[in-house]
Structure 1
């Protein structure tokens, strides 16, 4: 059976140590005190990853809820051609879910330190799910504005602005700084090239270029006819790219120059542009590609977690009893 993590990466995870200093005034004087208070009510037998995953599921639920009531982002438009309507309780429930999700995301690390279960799996699990939420949460917020205030194409670039900031702050920037630092003097005393330093940016920029070309120059204006599917597709591939970059950074290994999901993405684009397919055919290709990439990404994430659990002899959602 194929494995996603190499022996070198697993050994690199063993040496990884989390080191971060939060200098935000809001975090230090508002958020962290609140999270420190909240985590006291969490039983010590609850695994930190369970908190992380529960919060992520709430964002998935919100996405599905808005997909049902406002699939095409027409509900708050003046014409409302689809006659969609978002009930008041949906807004209220979504707000509560989002608050709980952020709170769970804020206390998972504190629960890990509280239970002595901190480790590379928890950080990878946390950041990996956060990278998927980077599209799920903004897409729900799009329904607040609707197409009259923000066109689907313009919102596409809003989403990518979020992606680039997320990637720069949590993955690419960290990896680049890491590589630049090591490029001047690594363990062998050899210099690393500038190319190695900027290598993590290649898959992100390549994907941005491809997705922008499809969104802008689609023969049937796919971004207007299937915006929610399009956002979900780019969010899924973006999350996969970031997960692999995080694995490379945490294990101190060389990152992949191109993501495997970009190949079917480029092939579908080739079919769409070369053969000038019909509107229905392009929408069908988008649907199949979204389903395929989603399955591939979920399988990748599941296998990586399983391989790390096997290597460290732990369970993802269960804390071993210290007495045992």
Structure 2
């Protein structure tokens, strides 16, 4: 099935990233003019994918830096000084840079006349992973519930799932309509920049005090986070799939994935999410990213997605072994092994699709505007 997907993608040689619609006032009236100025200083010899990948690397660096100081999401709650001030300021800087680079890569692709299906898959594929990393990094600001303040790990899981489902819905819309309507939640990262700056300026204590009418600032951010998630109003007269079954097919695997993960969270004998929240939530983000990437490929190539993603089968075995008690005290070890395996499989999949297949077919390098030498 891997080869079939790749073969069908290469039919879209005239793909243009301009089929995305962004109606967010922040983006249209504030950020777009800034991006138009920034893009003018980017050298024409730089490949658009270099911008895309650079932004993703900055997100990863920031995530692992915060993880070093706050592995279990308790540093901001029990010992606020454990995360140095410069880390929060660095987070604001990397978030802004990553958001900007991700926003100008398409403009630069059209500017250098190098738009291609490879660029779209590379861009949206990394976005599907970066979305979860953005959220997981921000959880360190909120801190884990310590009985007085903070957010419970179960709430973190729900918030992360909502954000990922929102991202999934955008590409599900494009699968059905042919147009990518960017959700307003896409600009959540701009809120995160302000949050990081505020944390660096006055400390994490600001998140643990009532802000307005007894509500905390984190409550306001949650409203901003999920307020624009149900954005399915564009499924009007542009449906490409006449069958309800065909239209809903891309949602089957994500929903089953969420169900399996939730069963593990709720029925885990060892309370796995509470013991290893960062590891478990990272695994959730990677698994969703791979599932979404398959949907993106089908949306690009106008093909039917597979009913059951292959991740579901090993995950189902692990979940059954965990909730039945077969894993016993090795549940955390099983989670670690599964997380490493899923991450490695996702990275391998991305390299094979982008570098091993599309790059050769289109006779282009991933990180260069030069043409490949035909073999």
The TM-score with structure 2 as length reference comes to 0.78
CA contact (8 A) 1:5 1:304 kept: no
Tell me by how many angstroms 1:24 deviates. 2.8
Tell me by how many angstroms 1:5 deviates. 4.8
Matched with 1:137 is 134
CA contact (8 A) 2:143 2:151 kept: yes
* Distance across 2 between alignment mates of 1:222 and 1:165: 25
Q: Give runs of aligned pairs for residues 189-204 of structure 1, distance below 5 A.
A: 193-204=243-254
Quickly say closer, same or farther: Cα 1:97–1:5, change in 2 above 3 A.
farther
CA contact (8 A) 2:118 2:358 kept: yes
- Does the alignment pair 1:164 with 2:222? no
Identify which range, 23-32 or 306-315, moves more after superposition. Answer: 23-32
Tell me by how many angstroms 1:17 deviates. 4.3
Secondary structure, aligned partner of 1:108: helix
Matched with 1:72 is 72
1:123 equivalent among 105, 120, 125:
120
CA contact (8 A) 2:144 2:151 kept: yes
Tell me by how many angstroms 1:233 deviates. 0.4
Tell me by how many angstroms 1:4 deviates. 4.3
Matched with 2:198 is none
Matched with 1:36 is 36
Q: How many residues align?
A: 307
* Distance across 2 between alignment mates of 1:110 and 1:240: 26
CA contact (8 A) 1:75 1:146 kept: yes
Quickly say closer, same or farther: Cα 1:284–1:246, change in 2 above 3 A.
same
Secondary structure, aligned partner of 1:21: strand
Unaligned residue ranges in structure 1 (runs of 5+):
185-192
Quickly say closer, same or farther: Cα 1:21–1:203, change in 2 above 3 A.
same
Could you report, residue by residue, the CA deviation over 1:226-245 in whole angstroms, capped at 9, with x for unpaired residues?
Answer: 00000110100100011110
Secondary structure, aligned partner of 2:305: coil
* Distance across 2 between alignment mates of 1:223 and 1:39: 42
- Does the alignment pair 1:53 with 2:53? yes
Matched with 1:62 is 62
Matched with 1:190 is none
CA contact (8 A) 2:129 2:289 kept: yes
Quickly say closer, same or farther: Cα 1:3–1:174, change in 2 above 3 A.
closer
* Distance across 2 between alignment mates of 1:12 and 1:244: 17
Tell me by how many angstroms 1:25 deviates. 2.4
* Distance across 2 between alignment mates of 1:71 and 1:183: 45
Quickly say closer, same or farther: Cα 1:282–1:29, change in 2 above 3 A.
same
* Distance across 1 between alignment mates of 2:278 and 2:365: 35
1:295 equivalent among 336, 344, 349:
344
Tell me by how many angstroms 1:102 deviates. 0.6
Matched with 1:310 is 360
Tell me by how many angstroms 1:41 deviates. 1.0
Matched with 1:177 is 177
- Does the alignment pair 1:249 with 2:302? no
- Does the alignment pair 1:14 with 2:13? yes
* Distance across 2 between alignment mates of 1:308 and 1:26: 34
The CA RMSD over aligned residues, in Å, is 1.9
* Distance across 1 between alignment mates of 2:42 and 2:367: 15
Unaligned residue ranges in structure 2 (runs of 5+):
179-234
* Distance across 2 between alignment mates of 1:258 and 1:85: 43
Tell me by how many angstroms 1:13 deviates. 2.5
CA contact (8 A) 1:12 1:253 kept: no
CA contact (8 A) 1:236 1:297 kept: yes
Tell me by how many angstroms 1:123 deviates. 1.3
* Distance across 1 between alignment mates of 2:42 and 2:4: 32
Matched with 1:209 is 259
* Distance across 1 between alignment mates of 2:331 and 2:64: 23
CA contact (8 A) 1:210 1:266 kept: yes
Tell me by how many angstroms 1:134 deviates. 1.3
* Distance across 2 between alignment mates of 1:7 and 1:286: 31
Tell me by how many angstroms 1:77 deviates. 2.0
2:102 equivalent among 102, 105, 130:
105
Tell me by how many angstroms 1:44 deviates. 0.4
